[in-house]
Amino acid sequence: MVQRIRLRYTKRGRLRFTSHRDFQRAFERALRRAEVPMAYSAGFTPHPKVSYANAAPTGTGSEAEYLEIALTEPRDPEKLRALLDESLPAGLDVVEAVEARTSGLADRLTASVWELRLDGVDPADAERAVAAFNAAGTVEVQRLTKNGMRTFDARPAVVRLEVDDDNAAVDRPNDRPCAILRLVVRHVTPAVRPDDVLSGLRAVADLAPPVPVAVTRLAQGLFDEETGTVTDPLAPDHEAAPEPQPAGATAAATAPVPEGPA
C-alpha cells in the first residue's frame, strides 16, 4: 500500500433503497471498471482494502457517505473520483476525493445532520410535536433487533430538532401540507436513527405522517460543542495537503543564475 484515498459519495433518488451490501458490490465492480490499483487483503479470499464508515440505513438518502481505499500505486484523487463516478449508476455519485494525510476518519464521524420530509403534515402540528419532544426529559422508543424488541431513550442523542419553515414553503410540490424537520443527532450506542426520532414524536405528541417520511442525511462529521455544528470530516486532509506550486516555479528555482560581467 502506497496511498490511501478518502471519498464522499451520495445515495440519491431511487438509489436510497440500495442496501449497504448492494453498494459494496457495485463499488467493487466500479473499482474493476476504473482499473484502480487496489491493495488486497491477505489470506485465502483476498478482497480489496475498502473501509466503509457509518453507512446510512437502507431507504434513506444521503449527501455524506464516506469510505477509504488503499492503493498500490499513487493516483490523482480528482481523476480517480471522476473515473469511479462514471463507473457507478446515477444516484450513487462520488462527489469528493482527497488523499488521506491524517488518521482516524471514523473517529471524526460523531454526529449527523438529517432532513425529514413529512408530506401531509401541517407545519403547525409539526411545531407542536417538536416542542413536546424537545421539552421531554426522556423519550422511550422501541426497535426490533435481531435479539428481539429493544426499548431505549432516544432523547439524549438529539442535539437539535426543529421545523424548517423556509424550505417547507419552497419545496412543496402542490397544495398539500408539508413539514420539513432538521435533526442533528450524535452517534451513540445504541444508535439513534431518524426512524427512532419519528417514533418519539409519535409517542410524545401522537404525530403520525400519513405517508412514509423521506429521510436524507445532509452531513456527518465531528460535532463542534462550541458552535453546535457538524464539521467536514475531510477538512483536515485538505488542510494537510501541500500547497500547489505556481507554474514554472520549480524551473525557476533550479535554473542556473547567469554570471555577471567579470
- 128-146 pLDDT, tens digit per residue, is 999 999 999 999 999 888 8
Q: Kindly list the structural domains of the chain, giving each domain's residue range(s) and its CATH number in brackets, ordered by start.
A: 3-107 (3.30.70.580), 109-231 (3.30.70)
Among 79, 83, 112, 85, smallest CA distance to 98 is for 79
* pLDDT (0 to 100) of residue 49: 96
Backbone conformation region of residue 147, classed left if phi is above 0, alpha if psi is from -120 to 50, else beta = alpha
Predicted confidence (pLDDT) per residue in 150-192, tens digit: 999 999 999 999 999 876 555 555 678 999 999 999 999 989 9
Compute the average pLDDT of residues 45-51.
Answer: 93
Task: Give the SS3 label for residue 177.
Answer: coil
* pLDDT (0 to 100) of residue 198: 97
pLDDT(257) > 70:
no
- Bridge partners of 5, per DSSP, are 69, 99
pLDDT(60) > 50:
yes
Predicted confidence (pLDDT) per residue in 76-128, tens digit: 999 999 999 999 999 999 999 999 999 999 999 999 999 999 999 999 999 99
* pLDDT (0 to 100) of residue 182: 98
Q: What is the pTM of this model?
A: 0.88
